Amino acid sequence: MNHSEDRLPKWIQEELSELRGRITTLENELNNVKEAHVVLFDRKWFAIQGPSFADKDDIRKLWFLDKEHPFPVCSLGKGDVLLVGRNAR
């Protein structure tokens, strides 16, 4: 027996299309979680809250001080949180 979605009512075809889109979105989110797990595994994590700024557009740059020279690592704005992971092995 051959089934064709073309024979289904339009609203069902649209619902099936929406469900396929949600499946694709969930598959992408699952892949993102799997990739993050590789980074997050075997580490002890702590968070550093960004300072509260009077101006919401104000940012602060964080620098790494190397033997040779300092270089910028990231910037923090109002409400940002820096997640730091230390090797747990």
The ranges assigned to domains in the chain are 1-41, 43-89
Closest to 39 (Cα-Cα) out of 72, 87, 73: 87
Give every CB contact of residue 51 below 8 A, 6+ residues apart in sequence: 60, 76
Residue 55 has pLDDT above 90, yes or no: no
| Cα(78)–Cα(84) distance, integer angstroms | 18
Q: Is the pLDDT of residue 70 over 90?
A: yes
Q: How confident is the model at residue 84 (pLDDT cuts 50, 70, 90)?
A: confident
Q: For residue 86, which of 36, 33, 41, 52 has the smallest C-alpha distance?
A: 41
| pLDDT band of 69, cuts 50, 70, 90 | very high
What average pLDDT does this structure show over 57-80?
Answer: 87
